[in-house]
Amino acid sequence: EEKKSLNFIEHIIEEDLRNGFNNEELRFRFPPEPNGYLHIGHASSICLNFGLGLRYKAPVNLRFDDTNPEKEEQEFVDAIKRDVAWLGFEWNHECYASDYFPQLYLWAIEFIKQGKAYVDSQSSEQMAEQKGTPTVPGTDSPYRNRSVEENLELFERMKNGDFEAGTHVLRAKIDMASSNMLMRDPIMYRIMHKYHHRTANNWCIYPMYDWAHGESDYIEQVSHSFCTLEFAMHRELYDWFLDQVRDSDKVRPKQREFARRNLSHTIVSKRKLLKLVQEGHVTAWDDPRMPTISGLRRRGYTPTSIRNFADTIGIAKRENLIDVSLLEYCVREDLNKSAHRVMGVLDPVKVVITNYPEGQEEWLDAENNPEEEVMTYRKVPFSREIYIEREDFREEANRKFFRLKLGGEVRLKNAYIIKAESCVKDEEGNITEIHCTYDEDSRSGSGTEASMRKVKGTLHWVSINHAVESEVRIYDRLFTNEAPDSHKEKDFLEFINPDSLKVVTGYVEPSLKDAKEGETFQFQRLGYFCVDRDSNADNLVFNKTVGLRDTWAK
């Protein structure tokens, strides 16, 4: 693993180290805004930043970018902490941009005193009109040359709550003709009379992202601040703000950009995910169909599988769409190692083994996982009446059908070879029972000649009398379109798959009776399933994590 080639972000750090940057001063951060739950796109950023921390033995802060009380909540802070920890990462400090409001305010006052900021009292429409275009310079606000005294007084009154939202803003005085539109006197503060989940009603002015983010990095002495590509143009402003506040003996944070990760058949935007929740298209943020970390967890994904996915796709300079089947591959690979193989039948048809004594039962040995170094076993009950999957039986079929057909034999996993003799149908012609005989010398592992006999097919099954009825939730893609939010003329909601959830009644072997929330199993021949949090002693509920193979139509 050590040999893995460096990504371009690591090259940037290596070069800084070669140029004399002190390894001890490396420091990173993951800076979520607590306005929703983390999604699979964030996992890339988390693995990048915390991964760098591990590689360079450097601290990594978890910083909440909580500068917009309109959208932020404590619930989201808690969920984000839970998810980062669950992914297996430890942050050195838990930080909040809101803890820096007093410092930011003091710096803003310095800006005003030095003629680098002014209070603009125009409407946002007026300001937008004066912005110009990338090729046409903007025009100055009539308030651009207010006196320092007037600015100081107005700014203090903004802070004290004397003004309505939207009546004044504080702007940095930079360059209304800059070729970078973001440098044309950007807004530093706006008035908002909103309750903040940490600072309550202490503040009536809130800093804008560009003003708060770089300064937060600086206060925490973050050496390398990685963000997604849409902030590339913001870098000039990030640097400008830093230049105004920075002491020359302190570390100067460096912003660099990497490509946002997009996953096919889903969306990665907290705002749009929130809409799915609010409008009831899904049941919650952790609905197993959601691409959130908590949704994936509830679906049965493991932290390892998500980290492996992030490592596999790596860090890129350009945006592209990652196929969700790669994520599914990663979870399959991981669960294959750890999940116990069990038997469950999801679309049952009854089989009667006519030569098996009525009332008799036996408990057979079943291997838990062939991938285990030291094999462990459990007992599975066998009896005269069992369920198999309806699709595993045909009255007639060609030679390629290796399952059960009339006159044909199959092995029941961990049990006996059976032969189908006849079947019973209802008035509509549906098969209600299959009558079979078994070869009593053929029990798996018994060492007899009959037990070694080769038959083409092996089926999973459950003993009807012993099976535990359970609810099984089977998921399909949440969106029918590969890139639901890339259509200009259509809203992403138009691509919602109406059949993304199917609930069936399944019958599972009794060893699963006391399975606990989050436990994962391979239902043999069907896929991986985990116990949902809705599960209880009276009603066992499973989520299908993923099938055994990639069977999605492309």
Q: Which residues pair with 82 in a beta bridge?
A: none
| Contact partner, 41, from Mg ion, ligand ATP, none, Cβ < 5-8 Å per class | ligand ATP
Tell me if 7 contacts ligand ATP by CB under 6 A: no
Dihedral Cα 370, 371, 374, 378, nearest 10 deg = -40
Q: Is 260 a catalytic residue?
A: yes
Supply the minimum distance, in Å, between the C-beta of residue 33 and Mg ion. Answer: 5
Alpha-helical segments (H) within 19-58: 40-55
Q: Does 71 bind ligand ATP (CB under 6 A)?
A: no
Q: Is 475 annotated as a binding residue?
A: no
Choose the catalytic residue: 171, 270, 332, 405: 270
Catalytic: which of 157, 260, 350, 394? 260
Q: Which does 290 bind (CB under 5 to 8 A by kind): Mg ion, ligand ATP, none?
A: none
Could you give phi then psi for residue 39, rounded to 5 degrees?
-120, 180
Tell whether 179 is in a known binding site.
no
Report, in Å, the least distance between residue 12 CB and ligand ATP: 16
Task: Please give the distance of CA 531 from its chain centroid, rounded to a whole number.
Answer: 18
CA distances from 328 to 3, 26, 41, 94, 508 (A): 26, 34, 15, 32, 24
Q: What is the DSSP string of 310-345?
A: HHHH---SS--EEPHHHHHHHHHHHHHHHPEEE-EE
| Residue of this chain nearest to Mg ion (CB atom) | 33
Of the residues 33, 367, 421, 440, only one is catalytic, namely 33
CA 276 → CA 28, 474, 493, 522, distances in Å?
32, 19, 8, 30
For every residue of 226-251, DSSP letters joined together read EEEGGGGGGHHHHHHHHHHH--TTS-
Q: How far is the CB of 44 from ligand ATP (least distance, A)?
A: 4
Q: Is 490 annotated as a binding residue?
A: no
Residue 261 touches which of Mg ion, ligand ATP, none (Cβ within 5-8 Å per kind):
ligand ATP
3 carries a ligand binding annotation = no
**Which residues are registered as beta bridge partners of 496?**
479
440 among known catalytic residues: no
Min dist CB 127 to ligand ATP, Å, is 24
Residue nearest ligand ATP (C-beta atom): 41
- Is 228 within any annotated ligand binding site? yes
CB nearer ligand ATP, residue 31 or residue 303: 31
The residue count for binding ligand ATP (CB under 6 A) is: 16
Report whether 510 belongs to an annotated binding site: no
Verify binding: residue 139, ligand ATP, rule CB under 6 A. no
Q: Are strands 169-172 and 117-120 parallel, antiparallel or unpaired?
A: antiparallel
Known active-site residue 1: no
Q: Do 315 and 52 form a contact (C-beta atoms < 8 A)?
A: no
Residues 31-60 that bind ligand ATP (CB under 6 A): 31-33, 41-42, 44-45
Residue 67 annotated as part of some ligand binding site = no
- On the CB side of 196, how many CA atoms lie within 13 Å of its CA? 23
Binding annotation for ATP: 33-35, 228, 268-270
Please give the annotated binding residues, written as ranges.
33-35, 65, 209, 228, 268-270
Catalytic residues: 33, 260, 270
